[in-house]
Amino acid sequence: MILNDLIQIKEKQQAARKKIVLRCCMAAGCMSSDSKGVKERLEKAVADAGLLQEVEVRGVGCMKLCCEGPLVAADPQGALYVRVTAENAPSIVAALNGGKASAGQTDPQAPFFAQQFSIVLANSGVVDPERIESYIAADGYQALHEVLHEMTPKEVVETMVKCGLRGRGGAGFPTGLKWGTVAKSSGTRKYVICNADEGDPGAFMDRSVLESDPHSVLEGMAIAAYAVGADQGFIYVRAEYPLAISRLQVAIKQAKQMGLLGAGIFESPFNFNVDLRIGAGAFVCGEETALMASVEGKRGTPRPRPPFPAESGLFGCPTLLNNVETFANVPTIYRKGADWFAAIGTEKSKGTKVFALAGKIKNTGLLEVPMGTPLRKIVEEMGGGAPDGGAIKAVQTGGPSGGCIPAQHLDTPVDYESLGRLGSIMGSGGMIVMDDSTNMVEIARFFMEFCMDESCGKCIPCRAGTVQMHHLLNKIASRQATPRDLKKLEELCDLVRNTSLCGLGQTAPNPTLSTLRFFRNEYDALLQPDPHGPDRTGHAHKHELATK
């Protein structure tokens, strides 16, 4: 493969483009509502109407408004059909000839769509994720070519530093700094790993990116591998994501066949292969050291850092580990330039962020907005607010490691620093909206139960602490707790946060602490008076703590 081949594929795709394209969502959400059947009926109706020369029915990835799926878009008509069934699909084809579609429609100019700013999701819902030609037609693999032929690895790292991208896996670590450290680390072999474990309840951004645009992740990984000097990559993806896995398998195979993965990519000396590793779905395996242990075939438990993966990672070799969304940003950054990317977002949080909007909200689905977008704009304007006229009470960001932001802080800009100041985190992008019917103690209990179940048990503070905190939250929720119990809960939060080995335990108290910070009245309302009077020592009584 040389540049000319890439250009030829692109031109051929453009020349073959039919007058009308019916884009049918084939991501997991819509497929669970039979979008496969919808696509088949559309194809049949197009053939029956004798429109095969004019109309292309294209299977695409997520079209974002998941709650209204299956979705079908008609280009260039600009119609967006919702809740399409196999039965009413033919009427969409009839509508192309002046008939009336019996499928419902939504306004593609509504704020949910119009206010999005797509970098990561630019190809989502547009390209066919199972055809590499479709990705190439959307400028795919152009950045990899430019990087391999026009930049040194050092320059690639410098561009990443300059653009200001921060890792989208949760902590927001500067990506350029990480790439630079791996590039400088000495080792006969280096690895690149894509973290596609995505274990946060309510989060489905990474799954969607892999299902909708797998080549953007592969291209991003290849650019990263060139920058750091790696020749082998792994994508660690959970077994619960079968569609993402099969799309990745197809994408890797096609990229290899075209010489975009493998030896001598774009006729350069650069070699890079990518293999999949399927995780069993343990939340802790998303933690980088546990993930690498799992890839090595060992039990997936975290280990202390340092050494950091950048210096000693997979099989003891320097390893670059980034999140799916981090890699998916990469091709566009090199195509459009570091300055272009750095101009989007805020001073310290550059670019965009993809969120999976879920919970008590009208428009559930995926959205991508510039960093710094006010939370209110996301949930009220784009999300359409709480359904049935309810009032939004809080927004949970960051999953089990995050916190609940109350309605009075909805004007907060969504960036790493602002969310942190409110005791929450950006996390990987799960955003769960709660309305005024939500019990915040229940929310804290839910997330604590999740952490308790998912704790790997390696260190005592997390193993025993999450059980104790969950026990106390149960006691509070069932109106059997006293102020002394609440005090114990707060002490345990502090202890577990400060003494756990990995991020799971260190952040497990966050949902509890943030609900205590903003909704303490809901806890207080459930407490019973202490029969022994107030505990003046302020210390927990050992014999009152439960055991697992």
Ligand X SMILES: Cc1cc2nc3c(=O)[nH]c(=O)nc-3n(C[C@H](O)[C@H](O)[C@H](O)COP(=O)(O)O)c2cc1C
Which of 119, 501, 513, 540 forms a contact with ligand SF4 (CB under 6 A)?
A: 501
Residue 72 has phi, psi (to 5 degrees) of -135, 130
Q: Torsion over CA of 121, 126, 127 and 130, rounded to 10 degrees?
A: 90
Q: Which stretch binds ligand SF4 (CB under 6 A): 21-29, 47-55, 304-312, 502-510?
A: 502-510
> Is 266 or 283 the residue whose CB approaches ligand X more closely?
283
Q: Please give the full DSSP string across 294-333, using - where no structure is assigned.
A: HHTTS------SSSPTTTS-GGGS-EEEEEHHHHHHHHHH
CA nearest neighbour of 282 among 246, 325, 314, 239: 239
List of residues 6+ apart from 47 with CB closer than 8 A: none
Q: Closest distance between ligand X and the C-beta of residue 522, in Å?
A: 27
Q: Which helix (H) or strand (E) is 198 found in, with range? A: none
Stretch 448-467: interaction string toward ligand SF4, x if CB under 6 A:
-------xxxxx--xx----
Q: Closest distance between ligand SF4 and the C-beta of residue 293, in Å?
A: 11
Q: Closest distance between ligand X and the C-beta of residue 165, in Å?
A: 9
> Is 160 or 462 the residue whose CB approaches ligand SF4 more closely?
462
Which of ligand SF4, ligand X, none sits in contact with 428, Cβ below 5 to 8 A by type? ligand X
Which of ligand X, ligand SF4, none sits in contact with 456, Cβ below 5 to 8 A by type? ligand SF4
List of residues 6+ apart from 1 with CB closer than 8 A: 258, 259, 260, 265, 266, 267
Is 492 a binding residue for ligand SF4 by CB under 6 A? The answer is no
> Is 56 or 288 the residue whose CB approaches ligand X more closely?
288
Q: Closest distance between ligand X and the C-beta of residue 281, in Å?
A: 10
Could you tell me what percentage of the chain is helix, strand and coil, using 3-state DSSP and rounding each to the nearest 5?
45, 15, 40
Query: Quick one: tokens of 103?
Result: 């499928």
> Is 401 or 514 the residue whose CB approaches ligand SF4 more closely?
401
Return d(Cα 460, Cα 230) in angstroms, integer.
37
Number of shown-chain residues binding ligand SF4 (CB under 6 A): 15
Return d(Cα 456, Cα 149) in angstroms, integer.
45
Q: Closest distance between ligand X and the C-beta of residue 166, in Å?
A: 7
Residues at the contact surface with ligand X, assessed by CB under 6 A: 167-171, 173, 195, 197-199, 283-284, 286-288, 321-323, 326, 428, 502-504
Q: Closest distance between ligand SF4 and the C-beta of residue 453, in Å?
A: 11
**HEC assignment per residue over 489-544:** HHHHHHHHHHHCCCHHHHHCCHHHHHHHHHHHHHHHCCCCCCCCCCCCCCCCCHHH
Which of 134, 346, 500, 515 forms a contact with ligand SF4 (CB under 6 A)?
A: 500
Q: Closest distance between ligand SF4 and the C-beta of residue 182, in Å?
A: 24
Residues that bind ligand SF4 (CB under 6 A): 284, 301-302, 455-459, 462-463, 500-502, 504-505
